[in-house]
């Protein structure tokens, strides 16, 4: 069958397709880390604006427990952020960062086990007097709001990437955002006891991470 002279050749078709392509800037992990830090700073600013910060934090002399819980949340959140970013870029391994971030955040629930064990040895129950319904709900709501703010920004950045395991990437985003959002809340939290930190903080992070995990996959799929 003779070829139609008006029909474009294969070479012309390929050239037309290639002509529509535009170069895409490669994703850099450090830009994702900067985005995460910026979102964390935004969450801290939001908590400060709406609820205020602790007086000792404002005076730049935070109590030791504030430093300890903040350091664990910030360090664990940033390491898991790196793991989430690596999970979104094909060819990058995130297992080491995931394990390290999990170990850092694991200090909190392990601390609760230590308090309970100490109570058993001393034959007295640890005091959970602070765990009133009002205070606990306040912690959950503020930590969840700050975590969702961080998580939304991270998901928007990661839409430019290509995670091969969306479920794993969603969990990593969820836990990273939950830790960083809870860090923002911790600068306001008036509690001074380990019982409150080791009981409520992990529960608040679990709720935040689960919400973000469930909401993320449809946003990452094209």
- Tokens of residue 127, six digits: 């005091």
Model pLDDT, residue 147: 96
Q: Please tell me the predicted confidence (pLDDT) of residue 57.
A: 94
Look up tokens 């606990």; give the residue: 136
Q: At what angle do helices 194-215 and 107-122 cross, to 10 degrees?
A: 150
Residues of the chain with pLDDT under 50: 1, 3, 18, 21, 23-24
pLDDT for 23 equals: 46
As a whole number of angstroms, the distance between CA 166 and CA 214 comes to: 11
Name the H helices within 88-165: 95-105, 107-122, 133-158
Query: pLDDT for 62-109, tens place per residue?
Result: 999 899 899 999 999 999 999 988 887 766 667 888 888 888 888 887
Residue of 90, 114, 76, 115 whose CA lies nearest to 205:
76
| Nearest in space to 83 (alpha carbons), one of 25, 143, 36, 145 | 36
Q: Residue 1: what pLDDT? A: 47
Report d(CA 222, CA 216) in Å as an integer.
12
Instruction: Count the alpha carbons within 13 Å of 79 in the hemisphere toward its beta carbon.
Output: 18
């Amino acid at each position: 069958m003779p070829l139609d002279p008006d029909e474009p050749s294969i070479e012309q078709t390929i050239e037309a397709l290639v002509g529509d392509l535009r170069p895409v800037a490669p994703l850099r992990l450090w830009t994702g880390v900067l985005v995460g830090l910026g979102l964390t700073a935004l969450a801290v600013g939001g908590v400060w604006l709406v609820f205020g910060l602790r007086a000792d934090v404002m005076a730049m002399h935070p109590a030791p427990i504030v430093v300890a819980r903040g350091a664990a949340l910030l360090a664990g959140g940033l390491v898991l952020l790196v793991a989430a970013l690596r999970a979104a870029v094909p060819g990058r391994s995130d297992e080491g960062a995931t394990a390290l971030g999990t170990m850092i955040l694991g200090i909190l629930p392990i601390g609760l086990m230590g308090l309970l064990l100490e109570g058993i040895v001393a034959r007295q129950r640890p005091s959970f007097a602070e765990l009133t319904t009002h205070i606990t709900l306040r912690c959950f709501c503020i930590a969840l709001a700050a975590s969702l703010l961080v998580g939304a920004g991270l998901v928007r950045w990661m839409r430019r990437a290509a995670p091969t395991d969306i479920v794993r990437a969603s969990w990593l985003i969820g836990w990273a955002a939950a830790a960083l959002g809870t860090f923002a809340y911790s600068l306001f939290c008036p509690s001074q006891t380990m019982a409150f930190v080791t009981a409520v903080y992990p529960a608040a992070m679990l709720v935040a991470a689960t919400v973000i995990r469930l909401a993320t996959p449809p946003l990452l799929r094209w």
